[in-house]
């Protein structure tokens, strides 16, 4: 993983949509590095799903984000959805 990498974004997204998607990417990074409040993370994911509605598009973005950052959105979401703990992470790469 590079210290400097680009977030996968779609050119047709509005500024508000980009902000929402970037908030999830940041939440995933935080979950891996430091841990994050589970409810906050699930809220970020819910808002992300309002922008990225199709499973296919979500999978493409997850793959691109994993390739550029080394962080897996799917793993972080699964950890949040299957846990009853207040916080998730730090997660292992």
Residue-range domain boundaries for the chain:
15-83
Read off the pLDDT of residues 25-36 as tens digits, 9 standing for 90 and up: 999 999 999 999
For residue 86, give the nearest of 35, 28, 12, 27 by alpha carbon: 35
In this predicted structure, the answer to whether residue 1 has a pLDDT above a threshold of 50 is no
Q: How far, in Å, CA of 51 to CA of 58, rounded?
A: 10
Alpha-helical (H) ranges within 34-88 are: 38-51, 55-69, 73-82
- pLDDT at residue 5 above 90? no
Cβ contacts of 29 within 8 Å, gap of 6 or more? 69, 71
Give, in degrees to the nearest 5, the angle at Cα 72 between 79 and 36. Answer: 50
Q: How confident is the model at residue 92 (pLDDT cuts 50, 70, 90)?
A: confident
* Architecture in CATH for domain 15-83: Orthogonal Bundle (1.10)
Could you report the per-residue pLDDT of 56-88, keeping only the tens digit for each?
999 999 999 999 999 999 999 999 999 999 999
């Amino acid at each position: 993983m590079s210290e400097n990498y680009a977030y996968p974004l779609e050119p047709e997204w509005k500024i508000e949509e980009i902000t929402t998607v970037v908030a999830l990417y940041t939440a995933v990074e935080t979950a891996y590095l430091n841990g994050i409040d589970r409810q906050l993370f699930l809220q970020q994911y819910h808002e992300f799903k309002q922008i990225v509605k199709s499973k296919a598009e979500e999978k493409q973005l997850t793959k691109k984000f994993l390739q550029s950052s080394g962080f897996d959105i799917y793993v972080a979401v699964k950890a949040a959805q299957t846990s009853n703990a207040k916080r998730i992470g730090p997660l292992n790469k």
